[in-house]
A and B are shown apart, each in its own frame.
Chain A
Amino acid sequence: MSGEKMLLLGVTLLLLAAAGADPSGSAASLRGPLHASAPPLRLLPQPVPEYGAPGVASARSAAEATVGTGKEEREAAEQQHHGGGYRVVQWEWSYVQTPYIIAIWLLVASVAKILFHFSQRFTTVVPESCMLILLGLVLGGVVLLASKKQLYQLDPSLFFLFLLPTIVGDAGYFMPARLFFDNLGAILTYAVVGTLWNAFCTGFCLYAAKLLGIIDEQVKADLMDFLLFGALISAVDPVAVLAVFEEVHINEMLFIIVFGESLLNDAVTVVLYKVYISFVEVGVENVQTADYFKGVASFLIVSIGGTLVGLVFAVILGFITRFTKKVRIIEPLFVFLMVYLAYLTAELFSLSAILSMTFCGIGANKYVEANISQKSRTTVKYTMKTLASIAETIIFIFLGISAVDKSKWAWDTGLVSCTLVFIFVFRAAGVVGQTWVLNRFRLVPLDKIDQVVMSYGGLRGAVAFALVVLLDGERVKAKDYFVATTIVVVFFTVMFQGLTIKPLVKWLKVPRSTNSKPTINEEIHERAFDHILTAVEDIAGLQGYHHWRDKWEQFDKNYLSKLLLRKSVYRKSELWEAYQKINIRDAISVIDQGGNVLTSARLSLPSMASRASFPEVTNVTNYLRENGSGVCLDLQVIDNVSGSKVEEDMETHHVLAGNLYKPRRRYQSHYSRHFMPLGEKERQDREVFQRNMRSRMETFKSTRHKRHKKERSLKKVRTHILVLKNKM
């Protein structure tokens, strides 16, 4: 129960912090909605001349002056304090304002997450996104009470330029490419056909509801407005899907279909939104048939163009990472930059930015992961995950906060209830219809349970909210009603559906994700199956999926990989790399368990599915010594050793360091921003591992069949001779 108490205490503290964090009256960077037509990047607010920036700081804030202040204000501020004499300590609020506020918000969000996890009971039932929204509601209420007006809101340009790309970039880069392309047909169908179906049906039915009088007269919207609203509310949202589904752990195929749909429907949403906005601006009467065709053409251009932009950036990124051997420290930077630039470039040309970023990530992943160093891989992975997590947290908190601002929305029961009903009904109908068609073409049909999960998993989220806030209130008179409805819909899907999806999944006995690491057998046999299926397709004369996959693999091997992979990497085989990874993983887990190859600890390698534990090994070192092996078994060469041996070593080191004469040491400072210990060591480590693993295997085999030890070694020699014979 103390978990809940901590939770309450923490929340109270947070509220106080939040209430104190907003300086009275000064502009916050996360301010009200900006119009889509002119989003200048006004993140830096005008420096308020209350607390001027005297002395040294004025030189720096002079640079900031280009963003906002006019010259007169600055001079006035300087004049104000010029006659005051020297101040020992000053309140430099306006100078640090923006970054400070951003940092405080990030801190509030992150501490909130820590507090949530204190209560174990809570976290298993309530998904994080729910709690964050609730927290946002509470914080919004506090801020409202404290300063009588709403200072913070989810700013669309902040959302689209910074928060969304972080999440989508992370998702796209780590997307399991094989699974994605295996199910691409289904994903595309749901994304395009499904979204169009949802959008049109919802729009038309809402209009019908208005005509029937269910929706109040005050909602001044006609067909175009409703279609526009339908378009933006019907898209499944990647942020929400990720947030909810990552706690549910359904099987990967289902997840990839829903998540892939949420990513790929961006093109449809973007086009529909833009088309309808222009129709609304022009007026319904002036819309010509040519405009409809332009809409269709626009869809093709936006989607294919976005994909191409992403792929171009993927190729560039792969190519760049080929040459980063000497600048390993900035390797992760290239990854982030290129993926982000793919997003921004697509936005620049008003193509689908999400598609661009997704395909950039998917395309580049294979080559980048092969080219960059292990440390860079870790850095990229963790940085992306951290940033994505932060972005997600901020989005949900601000969704909560924005909801509290009553001035921005207007409530109409008819509209809200109709919308909720319609999006459910049409989602379910759409899924069922499309699945029926798809199952005729799929290898593994989607059964009823899958369809239920897919319909239920059609969550709406922050993208819809940002889009509705971007609407022009002058043109779309019913904007406030739409905003309220969107808030309700988003809250409902994220909170209610988020809460209930876990029990639903359990009740329906949906196959869960196995979450097991691949074994070497699986890797070998899956590759063999690929070859088998390709051969069978060739024999049967079918130009099927595997045929084209194989053709792609050939093209990749002969041209793409040569271009994008480093020479040293190019020659390695994927199966060998997979084997290496498995080995390293095993070794690291042995050490994490506190074991050490030199001791006679019981070793249970996790990837050996059928093993409970190995028989005891009596002194590997002795065995090796007897056999004349000169292998170095010092596992300290791994960087991330954390075990008792390290502490022992450190103690010894301290004792020695304290008592020995210290000559002046000339050593390379490891605090260098320009290079890290080079690949030489990594290569050595890897060799050591290989030898380790092999010798360990020998040991285990020998202890089990001590009697047949001699026979085995003879057999090995015989095998070697056979091999040699075959070679000749």
Chain B
Amino acid sequence: MGSSSSSLNNVPDGQQLMQETGFSAAHLLRLYERFKFLDKDNRGHLRSEDFEAVPELSENPIGDRIVGAFFLPGQETVDFSSFVRVLAHFRPTEKNRTRAGAQPDPANSRNRKLKFAFRLYDQDRDGKISRIELLQVLREMLGMQVTEEQLQSIADRAIQEADLDKDDAISFDEFRKSLEKVNIDHKMSIRFLE
């Protein structure tokens, strides 16, 4: 592990990030390379323009929401630790294995993954997905393909299915319950290759 840990020293807060996020040294290094690649002007942090430079992202219907998730509220820039912390949500979950020194609620637990997704919908951070917010997401995903009425129907039904306390909005618990049959480990994880 000699060479990799020495180059890990170039990565700011490398060791601590490894502990926190569970990424291996090799992964972290690779992500740092990517970070530097995106950071074209070499400022040490990323701005939204840097994200927009990623080619396929513009075609993604909810791309700007995801980019927005990297920025902590109120901040205009993303430094490397925030970058990695967000990406850590998408690590595959480890079943029954506790790494030495792992966090009690690691970033890639099922709950945290769901919370990440929830926050993408709940833009105003009030802890609930209101009908309007749901409609917005649906509109972005479906866009030109359906009429406004159809969107309303879908949103109506979605809320009706999930809304247990009848407040016409989906709280995080209701969100989680509506997805209990979905294999979140599979659907919200990506492979971070060496």
- Which residues in A have some Cβ–Cβ distance to B below 8 Å? 182, 441, 443-445, 447, 514, 516, 519-522, 524-542, 544-547, 550, 554, 571-573, 575-576, 579, 582-583, 607-610, 690, 693-694, 697, 700, 704-705, 719, 722-723
Contacts and interface: CB of A to CB of B under 8 A. Distances in A.
B162 A533 contact: no
A531 B67 CA distance: 12
Contacts of A704: 166
A652 to B, nearest CB: 35
Interface in B165-194: 166, 177-179, 181-183, 185-193
B102 interface: no
Contact of B90 (A531, A536, A700): A536
Interface stretch (B1-9, B10-18, B146-154): B146-154
Contacts of B37: 541
A719 B132 contact: yes
9 contacts: A444-B92, A521-B161, A524-B158, A533-B189, A535-B66, A537-B190, A573-B145, A610-B164, A697-B156
The 10 closest A-B pairs by CB, nearest first: A573-B145, A521-B178, A535-B66, A541-B34, A529-B187, A538-B56, A535-B60, A443-B92, A520-B158, A520-B157
B181 A522 contact: yes
Interface string B126-149: 000001100101100110011010
A514 B183 CA distance: 12
A528 B181 contact: no
B123 to A, nearest CB: 14
B188 A546 contact: no
B191 to A, nearest CB: 6
A576 B67 CA distance: 27
Interface in B68-115: 70, 87, 90, 92, 95
Contact of A443 (B60, B121, B154, B185): B185
B153 A693 contact: yes
A575 B62 contact: no
A533 B135 CA distance: 21
Interface of B: 31, 34, 37-38, 51, 54-57, 59-63, 66-67, 70, 87, 90, 92, 95, 117, 120-121, 131-132, 135, 137-138, 141-142, 145-146, 148, 150, 153-154, 156-158, 160-162, 164, 166, 177-179, 181-183, 185-193
A582 B190 CA distance: 30
Contacts of A550: 56
A516 B181 contact: yes
B87 A540 contact: yes
B60 to A, nearest CB: 5
A522 B150 CA distance: 18
A519 B166 contact: no
Q: Which of A516, A573, A719 has the most CB of B within 10 A?
A: A573
Nearest to B177: A610
Contacts of B121: 528
B180 to A, nearest CB: 8
Contacts of B132: 719, 722
Contacts of A519: 161, 178
B188 to A, nearest CB: 6
A43 to B, nearest CB: 48
B185 A521 contact: no
A475 to B, nearest CB: 49
B141 A528 contact: yes
Contacts of A575: 141-142, 146, 154
B181 A533 contact: no
Q: Which of A443, A533, A607 has the most CB of B within 10 A?
A: A443
A687 to B, nearest CB: 12
A447 B183 CA distance: 16
B185 A528 contact: no
B186 A444 contact: yes
A443 B162 contact: no
B153 A694 contact: yes
Given A521-B158, A531-B63, A532-B188, 18 more contacts: A520-B161, A521-B162, A521-B179, A524-B138, A527-B141, A529-B117, A533-B90, A533-B189, A536-B90, A537-B190, A539-B51, A540-B87, A540-B192, A542-B190, A542-B192, A573-B146, A697-B153, A697-B157
A444 B154 contact: no
Contacts of A723: 135, 148
A681 B162 CA distance: 33
B146 A533 contact: no
A547 B145 CA distance: 23
